[in-house]
Amino acid sequence: MNEEKTIQPAPTTSLPVEAAPGEKHSAVIVRGISMPPHQVRMAIDQAVAREQLSEEDGEEAIWWLYNYAQANSLNESALAAKMKAYDKNTLYQVFRGSYGVNNKDGRHASWSNVVKAIKAFKAVAIEEAKKKNIGLLDTEVKRIVWQCCDAALNDGMVSFIYGPTRCGKTVSLKAYQRAHNHGTTVYIELGSGWNRQRFVRELAAILGNGVKAAKTWVLEDAIFKTFKRSNLLIVDEFHKALSTLGRDASRALLEFIRDIRDKTECGLVLCATKEGLEDFETGANAKTFRQMIGRAIVKAVLPDRPALRDFNTIARAFELPLPTGEDLQRVKGLVAEYGMERLFVYLQKTHALTRQAKEPMSWAAFAKVMNGYLSLAHMKNGY
Per residue in 56-80, pLDDT (tens digit) is 778 888 888 988 888 778 888 889 8
Average pLDDT of 261-287?
79
Residue 366 clears pLDDT 90, i.e. is over it: yes
Give the sign of the dihedral formed by CA 70, CA 131, CA 191, CA 257.
positive
Please report which confidence band the pLDDT of residue 55 belongs to, taking 50, 70 and 90 as the band edges. Answer: confident
Q: What number of other Cβ atoms are within 10 A of residue 16's Cβ?
A: 15
The pLDDT assigned to 103 comes to 63
User: pLDDT tens-digit profile of 141-152?
Assistant: 889 999 999 999
Is residue 287 a part of any domain in this protein?
yes
CA separation for the pair 266, 228 (Å, rounded): 6
Is residue 291 a part of any domain in this protein?
yes
Mean pLDDT, the chain, rounded, equals 80
Is 325 in the same domain as 297?
no
Please report which confidence band the pLDDT of residue 285 belongs to, taking 50, 70 and 90 as the band edges. Answer: low
Give me the domain span that covers residue 41.
37-130
Give the sign of the dihedral formed by CA 150, CA 156, CA 162, CA 166.
positive
Considering 79, 112, 130, which residue would you say is the last residue of a domain?
A: 130
Q: Of 67-71, 158-162, 290-294, 366-370, where does mean pLDDT reach its minimum?
A: 290-294
Residue 21 clears pLDDT 60, i.e. is over it: no
In angstroms, the Cα distances linking 263 to 213, 229, 260, 365 are 25, 10, 5, 55
Q: Count how many domains the chain has.
A: 3
The pLDDT assigned to 164 comes to 83
Q: What number of other Cβ atoms are within 10 A of residue 31's Cβ?
A: 12
Is residue 220 a part of any domain in this protein?
yes
Is residue 74 a part of any domain in this protein?
yes
In angstroms, the Cα distances linking 85 to 7, 25, 73, 81, 205 are 41, 24, 19, 8, 19
pTM (global) more than 0.75: no
**CATH code, 197:** 3.40.50.300
Residue 13 clears pLDDT 50, i.e. is over it: no
Between 140 and 32, residue with greater pLDDT: 140
Residue 10 clears pLDDT 60, i.e. is over it: no
Residue 207 clears pLDDT 50, i.e. is over it: yes
CA separation for the pair 300, 148 (Å, rounded): 8
Provide the β-strand partners of residue 186: 233
Percent of residues, the chain, with pLDDT higher than 70: 78
Is residue 18 a part of any domain in this protein?
no
Is 265 in the same domain as 172?
yes
